[in-house]
Amino acid sequence: MAAVVALAFVILMFSVSSPVRALSSNYYDHTCPQLESIVTSVVKKAMSNDRTVPAALLRMHFHDCFIRGCDASVLLNSKGNNKAEKDGPPNISVHAFYVIDNAKKELESSCPGVVSCADILALAARDAVALSGGPTWEVPKGRKDGRISLATETRQLPASTFNISQLQQNFAQRGLSIEDLVALSGGHTLGFSHCSSFQNRIHSFNATLDVDPTMKPSFAAKLRSVCPAHNKVQNAGSPLDSSTFVFDNAYYKLILQGKSIFSSDQALLTTPKTEALVSKFANSQKAFEKAFVNSMIKMSSLTGGKEIRLDCRVVR
């Protein structure tokens, strides 16, 4: 993994420069031993009030790590003429920033100036998965917070319309493998998508077909009823799998049934290797969970910040 972080391309393009060995599962054992219990408690409380919180936190962490490494830059507010990541088009629907704020507030009271916002977000994403019925894992800690957050850089995030070549290239640029790509896509087991992210599959698919032929006709018809061609309902859309609030392997089963939501989900069936992984994870939740944990640790080890922010939304 150290070699991954040393990749020149990653360093130049994404400021992912800190060595993985700087992270440690016991990083705060002496300076803030109550860290994990505080974060878990805050996430639990938020989940009890809003069932969409786990998907939001997992997506927030993913979007953070894919731009400049896991440095909490996704949390920063826009200021003056600088439009921050959170206001870039792919992040407009990201929410639940208050969960990280609440955890940070409690931690600043218990161990001031010690825990980075980036580590809080990494832990919250892990808790979001575990508290939704998924696996848990030891999160390596010691990330630092970044000072740069640019909405224009959200173009670097993988899009829901990507084909397999674009997805592989996007992940490879961050040192992530094809297995990481398929395993991390399983995060779509939690969450909801607005119509705009899959409109391309159910209306005017190409010059001759209105609907993506890889989509099961009855499923496409259901989506078309919710998302008509000139949809005016702002919050219209679809859950990403059949068990929206449970972290399981239903996402992969649905891909094999022609019931995936995004083009990028369907793209996982377009190469023998990725299709084999989809089948493997559809047949074994245990295999999926093991791969997901390994890939999450790998992704969240891409670090880029240099300081501890006292307020997760503001650089001082």
Q: Which two tokens stand for residue 294?
A: 């390994």
CA separation for the pair 68, 52 (Å, rounded): 26
Measured in degrees and rounded to the nearest 5, phi and psi for residue 192 equal -145, 145
82 forms beta bridges with 79
Binding-site positions for heme b read 188
Q: How many angstroms separate the Cα of 152 from the Cα of each of 73, 78, 135?
A: 13, 12, 34
CA separation for the pair 229, 234 (Å, rounded): 13
Measured in degrees and rounded to the nearest 5, phi and psi for residue 146 equal -95, 165
* Catalytic (active site) residue 63: yes
Q: Of 22, 34, 4, give the one whose Cα is nearest residue 172.
A: 4
The active-site residue out of 63, 95, 203, 230 is: 63
Q: Which two tokens stand for residue 100?
A: 């990280």
CA separation for the pair 115, 189 (Å, rounded): 30
Q: For residues 303 and 69, is the Cβ–Cβ distance under 8 A?
A: yes
Binding-site positions read 64, 69, 71, 73, 85, 158, 188-189, 241, 244, 248
Dihedral, 17, 20, 26, 32 alpha carbons, nearest 10: 10
Dihedral, 60, 66, 70, 75 alpha carbons, nearest 10: -40
DSSP 166-224: HHHHHHHTTT--HHHHHHHHGGGGS-EEEGGGTHHHHS--SSS-SS-TTS-HHHHHHHH
Q: Which two tokens stand for residue 232?
A: 């005016």
Binding-site positions for substrate read 158
Residues marked as catalytic: 63
